Amino acid sequence: VSSTPATPRVERIPAGEGAIWVGEGLLRDASRYLVSPSGRFLLVSPASARSASDPIRKALGSAVLLDFEIEDGEAAKSLANVEKISEAALAAGLRRDDAFVAVGGGVATDVTGFAAAILLRGVAWNAVPTTTAGMADAAIGGKTAVNHPRGKNLLGAFHPPRAVLSDPVCLATLPDRDYRAGLVEAYKAAWVADPELSSRASESLSAVLERDGAALVALLAGAARVKIGIVETDPRDAGRRHLLNFGHTLGHALEGAVPWGTLRHGEAVAWGIAAALEISKRRAGLSEQDAAAIRRTLSRLGPFPQPERDPKKLAPLLALDKKATAAGTAGVLLEEIGRARVEPSVPIPEWLDAAAIMSLS
Ligand SMILES: NC(=O)c1ccc[n+]([C@@H]2O[C@H](COP(=O)([O-])OP(=O)(O)OC[C@H]3O[C@@H](n4cnc5c(N)ncnc54)[C@H](O)[C@@H]3O)[C@@H](O)[C@H]2O)c1
Ligand SMILES: [Zn+2]
């Protein structure tokens, strides 16, 4: 009988032709999970993700063909960085059957995934998200993109990673504000589609806030399962995938109403959810009890900075929404915790009223 310590639980979530793995300490065994047809890997990561890239570097050893450091932060999600990655990969001798490993937050996985989508007309890639936003959202579902001076995510491709490795151990170095803002997306996934996950995740909130590994594995695996389940019924983003935009209609407007970076994306979504709860009570029969339970969770994930509520600033931003028409703009409404639907047209004044009264306590 060997005396090796019990292996912590690793969750495997099938995702298209690949899989999402969520588990504590799994990066040490990265070579078991990462996929490359040739066996060779091109590692791309920013310095901020060292807590994840170091164990991977060690696990892959001589299978690493290229070890390339990129900048991160939203400004790094650019075509210029795709070119830098491409130049380094081609200079290293990239072949059709090699694979990238993108290690980092949503910026690193989006930019590297897009480079993988276009290099040699597409090579395989793996995602190792190192932020809560990345594990719950950005690394899942196969969308890759970079920004254009005219707007966010305007250049991109659908190119799902072959493997996603989410190891909560690497979240230890993530600043608290990014940590909490990203968790909003994980709870959002539960609220739109999974009542059991919602109740388990609200019970484990204290442990999640303490960055407890087992609680994070359960929440992040659950959120990934919800997202991949929705994406696989709507891979090209034509309908059901919109459910994942719960809180995002007003959230995007709130994010755009203040100087870039003032409000984290997840913080804006938290306020957007608070507003959507008000509209859901009126239009979708959401009970005040369910709305209050969600507000309680959001307030414990915060406190989040107060958003802009001036209707004169928010109205033009709401009208810019991709799904806006003269009659209003689409919104995701909650019927009860764990069940959401898309409302094709909510008049802009209703969003503005909800923004005026929304609260997180
Ligand atoms: N492709 C998709 O479907 C999808 C979905 C949602 C969001 N996104 C994109 O994801 C991006 C946001 O993701 P994000 O919040 O992860 O942003 P990010 O990549 O900018 O990371 C946030 C911050 O955390 C730092 N960081 C990352 N990992 C760390 C770690 N382990 N320890 C310490 N610091 C660390 C980064 O340097 C950065 O300052 C946006 O560009 C958004 O458009 C994409
Ligand atoms: Zn989001």
What digits encode the pLDDT tens for the residues 140-151? 999 999 999 988
- Distance from the CA of 17 to the center of ligand 2, in angstroms? 25
| 26, 54, 123, 205, 273 from 262: Cα distances, Å | 34, 31, 36, 25, 18
For residue 183, what are its two tokens?
């968790």
- pLDDT tens-digit profile of 178-215? 999 999 999 999 999 999 999 999 999 999 999 999 99
Q: CA quadruple 202, 204, 206, 210: dihedral positive or negative?
A: negative
Amino acid sitting at position 31: S
- Distance from the CA of 88 to the center of ligand 2, in angstroms? 31
Q: Is 48 in the pocket of ligand 1 (CB under 6 A)?
A: yes
- Ligand 1 atom 33 nearest Cα: 174
pLDDT for 69 beyond 60: yes
**Radius of gyration (C-alpha) of the chain in whole angstroms:** 20
Looking from the CA of residue 153, the nearest atom of ligand 1 is 43
Determine phi and psi for 107, rounding to 5 degrees.
Answer: -65, -50
Q: Is 105 in the pocket of ligand 1 (CB under 6 A)?
A: yes
pTM: 0.96
N- to C-terminal Cα separation, the chain:
54
For residue 303, is the peptide bond before it cis, meaning its omega torsion is within 30 degrees of 0?
A: yes
